[in-house]
Copies of this chain bind each other. A is one copy, B any other.
């Protein structure tokens, strides 16, 4: 996949997000689940949009995810609105949780005068608590009344939990002489007091594309971006990514995996990669973004295992927080990742080459330590020299503040 901005010929549009594509409005309000912070986001497309979604693999998948999956299946991959609340996850809530999620769908459908099957709902917050339905009902009405082009940023804020900053991006590119726009917002920075675990992302675009191809593109880019982020190794009950494509750009509808499809997929990749890195960078308590690039592994899968295991190793994360040029921990993590390694071929680069053919080089500890101290993006490159597999994963350092954030209780 091409990921370079110039190569793909896309422009990043500053200070724009989810409402940049044509026909998209959004709102973000406080409906009273949380004390003062925004807690309800609504994203709305004026046209029925081809849609695709990816859900958590956790066995305790939350109620709203089941209901959204149901709706997407009924509508044949079409959506018009996404409602997100923070504060209560509506997970481990049994039959009542499913009823509440369906009832929430009804509020949105009634207020927007759209079919129920065109509504996606999702939640992030405390596990095992029920949605406050009165607040949800009134909140939906208020959110609908506030839908606007400017509401994109409010929506980006309303889905935040322990996030220290909103995460949004907008890009545009040209396809058969038509301008195509993609916007995205995301949240996620680890767990929050007490149970908010969730990584959520919502992407809108005005491209015309069939739902099944949109799903293929989403699944492919997520495997290489959101699924390669690790903050604490815990997979939430509520993780979900949704993309809406409403066709207002007026391009020839993409109905096969042609050049247009690949260009769109590559640009969708760029959007998800940006948001994934923003999530890692904003990991709970993090002071450093860690990027682990693995090259020349036996397979892409092996490369992914190593990249993610190294980025997720507590000992690597703690060493980077301590500015410790501690390459042994990187190798120990690679060694238990389950991937094939030739211990006599592996090279390692952190600022400079520090291991060659498995043997430590007399590298400058001071130079590497200074790099770890002064750079806020730490790049680790592992070259296995046994194949063509490659992958990149993103994580963050393990800090005292992470422990602070996750030990305070109600």
A interface residues (Cβ-Cβ under 8 A, vs B) = 57-61, 89, 91-92, 94, 126-128, 191, 193-195, 197, 232-237, 313-315, 318-319, 321-329, 331-336, 339-341, 343-344, 355, 358-360, 365, 369, 398-400, 402-404, 406-410
Given the complex of chains A and B, what is the CA–CA distance between A149 and B250 in angstroms? 87
Seed contacts A59-B339, A61-B335, A365-B410; 6 additional CB < 8 Å A-B pairs: A58-B335, A191-B329, A195-B329, A233-B313, A321-B407, A324-B408
Minimum CB distance partner of A325 in chain B: B409
Knowing A127-B332, A234-B313, A403-B398, the reply to whether A326 touches B58 (Cβ < 8 A) is no
Identify A321's interface contact among B236, B313, B403, CB under 8 A. Answer: B403
Assess the A343–B59 pair: CB atoms within 8 A. yes
Given the complex of chains A and B, what is the CA–CA distance between A236 and B336 in angstroms? 8
Given the complex of chains A and B, what is the CA–CA distance between A324 and B407 in angstroms? 7
Minimum CB distance partner of A125 in chain B: B328
Assess the A332–B409 pair: CB atoms within 8 A. no
Knowing A332-B235, A358-B94, the reply to whether A324 touches B128 (Cβ < 8 A) is no
Q: 10 nearest interchain CB pairs?
A: A127-B328, A322-B407, A324-B409, A318-B406, A195-B328, A235-B336, A60-B335, A58-B335, A59-B335, A128-B360
Assess the A92–B360 pair: CB atoms within 8 A. yes
Assess the B233–A233 pair: CB atoms within 8 A. yes
Minimum CB distance partner of A192 in chain B: B315
List B contacts of A355 (CB < 8 A): 92, 128
List B contacts of A59 (CB < 8 A): 334-336, 339-341, 343
A398 to chain B, nearest CB (A): 6
- Indicate how many identical chains form the complex: 2
Given the complex of chains A and B, what is the CA–CA distance between A259 and B217 in angstroms? 61
List B contacts of A58 (CB < 8 A): 332, 335-336
Q: Would you give 9 A-B contacts (Cβ < 8 Å), ordered by A?
A: A89-B328, A94-B358, A127-B332, A197-B332, A234-B332, A322-B409, A398-B403, A399-B403, A403-B403
Minimum CB distance partner of A324 in chain B: B409
Assess the A336–B195 pair: CB atoms within 8 A. no
Assess the B232–A314 pair: CB atoms within 8 A. yes
List B contacts of A57 (CB < 8 A): 336
A162 to chain B, nearest CB (A): 12
A360 to chain B, nearest CB (A): 4
A206 to chain B, nearest CB (A): 35
Assess the B328–A234 pair: CB atoms within 8 A. no
List B contacts of A344 (CB < 8 A): 94
Minimum CB distance partner of A195 in chain B: B328
Given the complex of chains A and B, what is the CA–CA distance between A104 and B335 in angstroms? 25
Assess the B237–A319 pair: CB atoms within 8 A. no
Assess the B409–A369 pair: CB atoms within 8 A. yes
Given the complex of chains A and B, what is the CA–CA distance between A313 and B195 in angstroms? 13
A44 to chain B, nearest CB (A): 31
A322 to chain B, nearest CB (A): 3
Given the complex of chains A and B, what is the CA–CA distance between A313 and B236 in angstroms? 12
Identify A324's interface contact among B194, B197, B315, CB under 8 A. Answer: B194
List B contacts of A318 (CB < 8 A): 402-403, 406-407
Minimum CB distance partner of A236 in chain B: B332
Given the complex of chains A and B, what is the CA–CA distance between A341 and B340 in angstroms? 31
Identify A128's interface contact among B193, B315, B327, B339, CB under 8 A. Answer: B327
Assess the B234–A315 pair: CB atoms within 8 A. yes
Knowing A314-B406, A318-B406, the reply to whether A326 touches B194 (Cβ < 8 A) is yes
